[in-house]
Amino acid sequence: MKRVSLFISSFKMKKAAGRILGALVFVCLFLGIEKGMEYALINDTNEWSRAMFHDFYTREENIDTLFLGSSHVYCGINPEILSEKTGESCFNMATPGQPLNGSYYLLREAVKYHDITHVYLELYFGQSVGEEGAFKEAGQLPRNWRNTNYMKPSLNKLSYMLTMSEPSLVYMSFLPVRRYMADLFEPEKIRETIRQKRTEDYRNYYVENVLNGVVETYVKDGFYYSEHRAEGGVLYDIIRPEPFSENPMTEDAEEYLRKIIEYCQKENISLTLYCAPFTDYQASLYGDYDRYVGQVRKIAEEYELFFYDFNLCKEEILDLTEDALFRDKGHLNVYGAEIFSECFADFFNGMEEGSLGYEDYFYPTYQEKLAHSKERILGILAEKEKTGEGRVWYTLTPIHNLKQREAECLVYIKDGQGRERILSEWSSVPQEGFRFRIPEESEVLFIEARPKGEAEATNFVQIDL
């Protein structure tokens, strides 16, 4: 009886082992096919995050100071300048559209590999309010995928992937190729993706993009190099954004901001909350920007921290009023980044030495800062609308901080034959804006603006219709 029992037991063990082996073979085969499809379908040859994570994981020197945040950081903070001025080893771990849950998990990732002593967390409002602040929604997931796509396997990454979305969308994070299934039936696209991935640039993590004919390149330590200048009609919008509510930061964003603060306190890591500068046009476009600043300040004060928003910086200290220092309405170019990085290092060095105080650099509110800034037209809002008859109308509203003078505009169109037609001669624009209809044959809309009394236009917009 015992022999039969032992035989049955041995048989069951072999059968169970066979099932486990079969399951492992299936999983390995499945993952192999998945990786092969990812290679063929996902074209990430110009993905900045891929280069940054490669720099991070292959770095031998310890990172003392870590910068977290979105593209405003990797465009605006030059780690080389900061390292030279502070004597600390700096790394910019910013990624495109990085939401605050992403900042939290990347912070934990950095602490695993380096002895981080100081973290600078950038709090650009665009990642924390409205739709962008609801980062678990399907449309916002790519901002987190840019991180998880390149993170090494770990419990930290697993936790990140399980919490970045609603449960019904989790599979999209674990199986990246599912996002690109439509490309399975585009052989030319697949061939081009494979061709680009076999180039030396891809293998060496060289990443560049071309914007308006200007090459923009990933440099090192998370810094992005752009010489593009925001001139010639860049600062305009055709949709008026939702104004700031009383407390515009979403609950999800606030939750992870608090998690970051509490994690740094637990790990004895110094934390500085700040905001990199963007154009006054963007800050003014949303109405009362001080509502956002006030909410972040209240949260910071609960933890005995302060929020340093460089959009409130005094113009004589940080003069970024020239559009040529930006690549677009929200991002500094390499010239603006150099000025800001120098100012950033000087301020915090001065704070540490006790030679500078907050009031030496900053105004208490954005409205007060704008009131003391150089008077100018900041940008143009040209709101587009269609009527039931299919006609296209625009409402023109110059965004400015003019006090004694009015803003005036010239509006004209160009048709398919290149003929120009003036829709409105130079005239003052009322506070509620100027509404005009676009003739049906129009192909391009031109808007010029200037403070009344100026001889030349100071702002120019060209909109393809």
**CATH number (domain holding residue 366):** 3.40.50.1110
| 232 plus 275 within the same structural domain | yes
Q: Are residues 221 and 317 in the same domain?
A: yes
CB 112, CB 154: distance < 8 Å: yes
What's the pLDDT score for residue 95? 94
Asked whether residue 43 is assigned to any structural domain, the reply reads no
Q: How far apart are CA 6 and CA 18, in angstroms?
A: 18
Give the Cα separation of 128 and 258 in Å (integer). 13
Are 338 and 263 in the same domain? yes
Tell me how far apart the alpha carbons of residues 140 and 156 are, in angstroms, rounded to a whole number: 20
Per-residue pLDDT at 362 exceeds 60: yes
Nearest to 69 by CA among 1, 31, 126, 149: 126
Check if the beta carbon of residue 393 is closer than 8 Å to that of residue 437.
yes
* Region of residue 398 (phi > 0: left; psi between -120 and 50: alpha; otherwise: beta): beta
- Mean pLDDT of all residues in 223-244: 86
CATH number at residue 413: 2.60.40
User: Comparing C-alpha atoms, which of 438, 397, 449, 424 is closest to residue 240?
Assistant: 397
| Residues 310 and 281 grouped into a single domain | yes
Q: Are residues 215 and 69 in the same domain?
A: yes
C-alpha to C-alpha distance for 65 and 54, rounded to whole angstroms: 18
Residue that terminates a domain, selected from 372, 388, 407: 372
Would residue 2 count as lying in a domain? no
The last residue of a domain, from among 320, 348, 372: 372
194-203, 329-338, 441-450: segment of lowest average pLDDT: 194-203
Same-domain status, 359 and 439: no
Question: What does the pLDDT read at residue 13?
Answer: 65
Question: For residue 41, how many other CB atoms are within 10 A of its CB?
Answer: 21
Q: In this predicted structure, what is the pLDDT of residue 291?
A: 96
User: What band does 389 get if pLDDT is binned at 50, 70 and 90?
Assistant: confident
At how many degrees (to 10) do helices 290-302 and 251-266 cross? Answer: 40
- Say how far apart CA 115 and CA 75 lie, in whole Å: 25
CB atoms within 10 A of CB 431: 7
Are 378 and 320 contacting, i.e. CB atoms less than 8 angstroms apart? no
309 and 434 inside one domain: no
- Residue 39: name the closest of 217, 240, 196 by CA: 196
Same domain, 329 and 213: yes
Give the pLDDT confidence score for residue 117 in this predicted structure. 97
**Average pLDDT of span 348-362:** 88
**Judgement on whether residues 297 and 393 belong to the same structural domain of the protein:** no
Length in residues, the chain: 465
Least confident of 12-21, 283-292, 316-325: 12-21
Q: Comparing C-alpha atoms, which of 277, 367, 276 is closest to residue 322?
A: 277
Question: Residue 15: its pLDDT value, please?
Answer: 66
Spatial CB neighbours of 457, under 8 Å, sequence gap ≥ 6: 410, 448, 449, 450
Q: Into how many domains does the chain fold?
A: 2
**H or E element at residue 238:** none
Distance CA 60, CA 53 (A): 13
Give pLDDT tens digits for 134-154.
988 888 998 999 999 999 999
Residue 70 lies in a domain: yes
Mean pLDDT across the chain: 89
- Do 290 and 425 share a domain, yes or no? no
Domain co-membership, 358 together with 412: no
Q: Is residue 25 part of a domain?
A: no
Other CB atoms closer than 10 Å to residue 96's CB: what's the count? 15
Contact 231, 324 (CB under 8 A): yes
Q: How confident is the model at residue 187 (pLDDT cuts 50, 70, 90)?
A: confident
- List the beta strands (DSSP E) in 88-129: 90-92, 118-122
Confidence of residue 17 (pLDDT cuts 50, 70, 90): low
- For residue 402, being part of any structural domain is answered with yes
Chosen domain end from 372, 406, 432:
372
Eight-state DSSP code of residue 461: E
234 and 339 in a single domain? The answer is yes
Residue 310 in domain: yes
Residue 135 resides in a domain: no
Burial environment of residue 334 by CB neighbours within 10 A (0 to 12, 13 to 18, 19 or more): buried
Q: Does residue 158 form part of some domain?
A: no
* 132 and 80 Cβ atoms separated by less than 8 Å: no
Mean pLDDT value across residues 229-245:
85
Task: Give rounded-to-5 percent helix, strand, coil for the chain.
Answer: 45, 20, 35
Query: Global pTM?
Result: 0.89
Please, are residues 398 and 430 in contact by the beta-carbon 8 Å criterion? no
Question: Would the pLDDT of 27 be above 60?
Answer: no
DSSP per-residue codes, 124-158: -GGGTBHHHH-TTSGGGTHHHHHHHTTSPSSHHHH
DSSP bridge pairs for 400 = 377
Parallel/antiparallel/unpaired status of strands 377-386 and 307-309: unpaired
Give the domain extent around 424. Answer: 377-464
Across 253-406, the runs of DSSP E, i.e. the strands, are 270-275, 307-309, 377-386, 392-400
